[in-house]
Amino acid sequence: MSAGTTTNVEANKQLVQEFHEVFSTGDVENILSYMAPTATWWVAGNIPLSGTYDVDGMRELFSSVGGGVKGGAIRLTPTAMTAEGDRVAVETESYAELTNGRVYNNLYHFLFIVRDGKIHQVKEYLDTIHTNEVFFG
């Protein structure tokens, strides 16, 4: 692996780390500033949030989910990160208190595709039963 590749991998990991921090603020436009114009976000499962979103869809998704959360943000805390090439894999824990009185505390595996300093693709794997019960149960 060349030094340039190592630098890109480290830069990609830093970008994903910063993205988690910005996501945790609930500032949707700032969150979306990390995404490439053609980015997609895929959520696993068969719950109301599952599916593939473009940037406009992400804006709607993040705004609607944030609207049900006290303080408007789900805190994302990366617990492990592995990167190779343009791929950054992250284990993450979330925490939020919802306006419905429930607590959302989930574990995720995210796969980010990062190129040229922007996130191009996110795949989100999570406990969909917990998500469905807390948000929609």
| Strand ranges inside the chain, DSSP E | 35-43, 51-53, 75-84, 87-97, 103-104, 107-115, 118-126
pLDDT score, position 18: 98
pLDDT band, residue 4 (cuts 50/70/90): low
Domains of the chain: which residue ranges? 3-136
Mean pLDDT, rounded, for 113-129? 97
Fold of 3-136: Nuclear Transport Factor 2; Chain: A, (3.10.450)
Statement: residue 110 has pLDDT above 90? yes
Whole-model pTM: value is 0.93
